Amino acid sequence: MTTSRDLLAVLRGPAEQVAPLLLGAELRNGPVAIRLTEVEAYAGAADPGSHAFRGRTARNATMFGPAGRLYCYFTYGMHVCCNVVTGPEGEASAVLLRAGEVVDGLELVRERRPGSTDRDLVRGPARLCRALDISLDDDGTDLVAGPIRLTLPEPPDSERLAPEVCSGPRVGLRGAPERPWRFWLAGERSVSAYRPAKPR
At 115-125, the pLDDT tens digits run: 999 999 999 99
Share of the chain above pLDDT 70, in %: 94
Residue 154 counted as domain residue: yes
pLDDT of 69 reads 98
d(CA 138, CA 141): 6
Segments in the chain forming alpha helices (H):
4-11, 15-21, 106-112, 125-132
Residue 72 counted as domain residue: yes
Per the structure, how many domains does the chain have?
1
Task: Kindly report which listed range (6-15, 93-102, 140-149, 171-180) carries the lowest average pLDDT score.
Answer: 171-180
Residue 190 counted as domain residue: no
Q: Does 66 sit behind a cis peptide bond, omega within 30 degrees of 0 on the bond before it?
A: yes
Tell me the whole-structure pTM to 2 decimals.
Answer: 0.93
44-70 tens-digit pLDDT: 888 998 988 888 899 899 999 999 999
Query: What CATH number is given to the structural domain containing 8?
Result: 3.10.300.10
